[in-house]
Structure 1
Amino acid sequence: MTRPVALVGPTASGKSALALALARVRSDAELVSVDSMQVYRGMDVGTATPSASERDEVPHHGLDLIDPHEEFTVAEFQRRVLAAVDDIEARGRRALLVGGTGLYLQAVVDGLEVPGRYPDVRAGLDAEPDTAALHRRLSELDPLAAARMEPTNRRRVLRALEVTIGGGRPFSSYGPGLDAYPPSRFRLVGLRLPRPVLDERIAARYAAQVEAGFVEEVRRVWEDPRGVSRSAAQALGYKELADHLAGRCTLEEALELAVRRTRRFARRQERWFRRDPRITWLEPPPPDHDARAVLDELLAIWDEPG
């Protein structure tokens, strides 16, 4: 019995190209996106969603699930991806998960029990500017959760308080947290590139996306009378180009800021995945650092039994 594989790594590292290369030589493979932004219809250029021809060639799942005005949660993503994996396996085929959204990946491979959302509670908590005060409040309500996070990590503190207060159940009761790495039925493989190479690729990809119509895509999405959801608005590059379209900056300034933010995001992705001891790392060799150069290594992992 072979296990499904998850191919992870920072943005622009070449995950999609490597996954497609594997699927072209292993006819049992179907690709499942683990990208929190490729779920949105009409946001294909800026999220580097696989092309129509690539999707015609190899089955893809987890793409174009909802419209940009709709909110999308980790729990909904988890439900849809696990259903896709089950369907793939029921047909005698194998799933290759591909992406860099760490929380979404961990929700799938570890079967996390994902707490609900309580926007009214969150809004009230967010009005408190003192993160240390919020952490002290969490220490009173859920000491275990408070001990698991830095008092200065506002995002995590807010989320833990939101769940504890809104759900009437301690945040820590949902499991050991994101720093636990239990055995998983998924085999985890990561792509690792030198940071200067990754930085260059991020800038080059933005240039190519603009040539491919990224600005026009942002205009179309942002002018939709239904609006853009909070979750969709977090897509890298979109806000910056929307600011350009609104006349708040030049295109060059928007792209420069988008590149900087995306490079910082890639660093966070690296840190997230580096903590997971279950990942087998592949390093495409110089001078090109082409991810497809490690295809044989990935195939060897893919073909391992059990």
Structure 2
Amino acid sequence: MTPISPACRDALARWLDTRRALAGAAENTITAYQGDVADFLGFMSLHHGAPQGLGALERIGVADMRAWMAHLRKDGIAPRSLSRKLSAVKSFYRWLAEREGFEPTAVLSTRAPKFQRKLPRPLAEDAAKAMIDTVELQSQTPWVAARDAAVVTLLYGCGLRISEALGLTGSDVPLPATLRITGKGGKERVVPVIAAARDAVAAYIRLCPYSPAADAPLFRGVRGGALSPRMIQGVMARARMQLGLPATATPHAMRHSFATHLLAAGGDLRAIQELLGHASLSTTQAYTSVDTARLMEVYDRTHPRA
């Protein structure tokens, strides 16, 4: 690993602690931040021929930033990933500048590369319903079939991430009219639970050979342990092949479908943001692009041509 000065290493550790405490960032996000900023600091050490102390970091200029970004491009880093790394470095520098009292303009004014944002890939309404029905047919063990259908129903009916659905415990049953979900970064939200989801979970509980202990996972593997996300990914992969759906028909696509279908039915964008637990409205706004894209597809297919 490229050497980083002790002062920089300590500053990075303190910044990460701040992110954990104040921003409530998830541990995976903290790990990504740590890697991105450490790589940046390591590059600057090599670029200048020696580990850079805090004083040297204050003197980083536009040419240094261009050299770092050119290095990343040479290594084949995609624009989306480069933009994420730059965002982490800027966040670190903003914190460091306030702490040390220097002007971070050269770093903060560096422009991120442009890239085409990937649109969510939801399923059509009939395909989402068919997915739930087909998932239930993948196992000949009744309680396993009911379990898989219940999980996928929660993903589509409540817009949960798969980690959130599998994070439910016995204390959550019988499912109430609303669930308090802790999502990314410890952000809490209240999610309405539709009758179909409550019924699906109740059917699973009736058949499951394991008692729903309050402190135990609600969804169990065949040996009684916590159900792995890979099991749901696998059962959905088999179902989508039977239905002729694309590889994008994943557990997360059910969450995309939830949001897109709500929006198409006239749902308020801010309300959908809250239901999904998105920190930024811009993330939720991607679904408006999906809806527009679908509208244009229908327009192209049906509009009379001269």
Give the shorter-chain TM-score range: under 0.3
* Structure with greater helix share of residues: 2
TM-score by length of 1: 0.24
* Structure with greater strand share of residues: 1
Using CA pairs under 8 Å that are at least 6 residues apart, name the structure with larger relative contact order, 1 or 2: 1
Larger Rg: 2
TM-score by length of 2: 0.24
